Each structure stands twice: as structure tokens, then as C-alpha cells.
Amino acid sequence: MDGGITNLTTEERTNCQRLTPLTTANLLDSVDAFLFDCDGVIWKGDALIDGVSDTLDTLRALGKKLVFVTNNSTKSRRQYAKKFHSVGISVSEDEIFSSSFAAAMYLKVIDFPKEKKVYVIGEEGIGEELQLAGFTSLGGPEDGKKTVQLRPNYLFEHDKSVGAVVVGLDQYINYYKLQYATLCIRENPGCLFIATNRDAVGHLTDLQEWPGAGCMVAAVCGSTQKEPIVVGKPSTFLMEFLLKKFNIPTSRMCMVGDRLDTDILFGQNAGCRTLLVLSGVTDISDLQDSKNHIRPEYFADKVSDIIRFIQ
């Protein structure tokens, strides 16, 4: 069967059933690959969520393909594999699809000229993925401590060969980086504005949420009055990339996530089955809120519920 983005019926999309022995059997039968979000699903901050390790082992034993899809752009795939290892889970780089990797792959797919440069607002992950893909980047961590001088006759110079600005989560966001990105986008002809994702907040620590890439991306929208190309969830760019890699139709993939507006919407946009877990930012009242129009096919307290009912 050819891989492709497929459409589920409205009923399949809006059922929203809790995982039970019956629905779990149904889900496992109908799915060949599980796509997992990481923050709030696999871990919270640095703490592994209860039962994750056994769940992944069991799914692998059942022959399911596993893919870890994260909007967090601060790490590269290599750094993510290390993080998985540090929490006791063995995952290969090839199974990881981070938005930092997505940004680099986007530039590759569009044949972004190798002689042009990429300015980065973001952390290590983006620069590392760009380099692995053969691109030259500047900005990012190296501009974390730079300041500006607002005095007469001072000209803030920027590199005219920058042809793309990639914006992701950056805890070292500053005015220097904002001015640099703004000048590139406003003044370099045809300069692309790429956002790893637009998550408003994220569980950067286990105890609370922090401003996400959506904050930095909005700042650049505010100064440039331009809208970005988004490569992370809920954009389907990553899914199209996955489809070329695997030979599985999206209707036989299940997106597992803790966010309605990125994970579940991403899964639905791509025609995947969807499972919301309540171990992250969404609780049952958010799900059942009448203002919420994004309804997953299934929901469960946490990922380990997937194997709870297997005999």
C-alpha cells in the first residue's frame, strides 16, 4: 500500500473515546506506527513519565514503528538521542524528528543555496542540524550576550548574504538578535522567515510552563510585520518528510500527544489516528470545554495506558 496523507471520516475524528480494553485492541490492530510527542508525553522537564519505558518496549515487540516528534528546537537529533539515553530509553537518531531537524530539512527540500547563510534565533539544536545538512549559520548561542549601542552615527551591520532566518525557542533572546533577524528579513531581498513552531508555552521545567518558540516568533512577526513558514507541528511538513521515509499511509499512524492545538491538530491535519494523553498541558476539563473544537479519536491518562489492557 502506498504511503500518503489519508482522510479519516468525521466520525473517526470526533469519537473521542477513553482507552479501554476494546478500544486499545482496535487501536493496536489498526496502527503500524506510533508518533510520540516528547514533552508532557515521554517526559516532563527531565523526569520520565511513569511506565513509558515498558510501553515503548512492548510496542517495539509488537512490531510497531516508533517516531518521536518534538516541537522543541533547542536540541539536535543527536542531543535528543542522548537525552533519551540519559532517562534510560534507547532511541536512535533516525527515530527522532525535532523541529530543529525540520528547519534544516525544509531548507534542503527547497534547495536553499549553500552559499547563502542562515541567521538563527534559537539554541544549539538548530545550528547543529543546519551544519549537518551542509548549511552555514550564524547567530544563535554566539549572539546570546551581545548588546546594542543606541548612539548617533552607530550603524548596526548585518550580513547581506543571509537568505533565511530560523526562529525557535531561545532562552537567551535579546534585542541584538531581534534587530539582526529584523534587518535580514526586511532588507535582504527574498530572505525567508522560518519558524520551528509557534507553541505559546512549554514545560521547560517539571514544575511550570515557560514562553515557547511562539513568543520569539511573534516578536519577529511584530517587528517585521511578516508571517513565518512553520515547519514543526501542526504544519504537515514533517509528516510529508516521514511519508517519504516510511511506506505506511497516515491512516495507519497514530499521533500521541498532550496538546490539542499542535499534536492532535497535526495528527488530524495529516490524516492520522490521534491519542491525547493527559500527562502534559491538557487536562480533562480542557478537552471537554465547549470552546475546544479539537477532539482526538482517543484519550488516556498517560502513554502506559496503551499497554495496560494487553493480555
Residues placed in the known binding site for substrate:
233
* Shortest reach from residue 290's CB to a copy of itself, in Å: 18
Assess 220 for contact with a copy of itself (CB under 8 A).
Answer: yes
**Does 37 participate in catalysis according to the annotation?**
yes
Cα separation, 14 vs 261, whole angstroms: 15
303 DSSP 8-state letter: T
C-alpha cell of residue 269: 491535519
Omega of the bond prior to 152 within 30 degrees of 0, cis?
Answer: no
Q: Residue from 11, 61, 207, 311 that binds a copy of itself (CB under 8 A)?
A: 207
Binding of residue 16 to a copy of itself (CB under 8 A): no
Q: Tell me: cis bond preceding 211? Omega within 30 of 0 counts.
A: no
Q: Which of 125, 168, 212, 271 binds a copy of itself (CB under 8 A)?
A: 212
Q: Provide the β-strand partners of residue 246.
A: none
Taking the C-alpha atoms of residue 263 and residue 274, their distance in angstroms, rounded to an integer, is 8
Cβ proximity to a copy of itself, 117 vs 177, nearer residue: 177
Q: Assess 25 for contact with a copy of itself (CB under 8 A).
A: no
290 interacts with a copy of itself by CB under 8 A: no
Choice among 29, 32, 37, 46 that is catalytic = 37
Written as one string, the DSSP assignment of 48-89 is EPTTHHHHHHHHHHTT-EEEEEE---SS-HHHHHHHHHHTT-
Is 57 a catalytic site residue?
Answer: no
Choices 129-137, 220-228, 282-290, 297-305; region in contact with a copy of itself by CB under 8 A? 220-228
Binding segment for a copy of itself (CB under 8 A), chosen from 61-69, 112-120, 219-227, 244-252, is 219-227
For the CB of residue 190, give the shortest distance to a copy of itself in the complex, in Å.
19
Whether 141 contacts 123, CB under 8 Å: yes
Determine the interface stretch with a copy of itself among 12-20, 77-85, 108-116, 223-231 (rule: CB under 8 A): 223-231
Q: Which is nearer to a copy of itself, 33 or 183 (CB)?
A: 183
Q: Which residues pair with 96 in a beta bridge?
A: 68
Comparing CB distances to a copy of itself, the nearer of 82 and 186 is 186
Strand segments (E) across the chain = 17-18, 33-36, 43-44, 47-48, 65-70, 96-98, 117-121, 136-139, 162-167, 192-195, 201-202, 210-211, 229-230, 253-257, 273-277, 298-300
Contact call for residue 175 and a copy of itself (CB under 8 A): yes
Instruction: Report, in Å, the least distance between residue 212 CB and a copy of itself.
Output: 7
Residue keyed to cell 521515509: 245
Binding site for a copy of itself (CB under 8 A): 45-47, 148, 150-156, 170-175, 178-179, 182-183, 186, 198, 200-201, 204-208, 210-212, 214-225
Catalytic residues: 37, 39
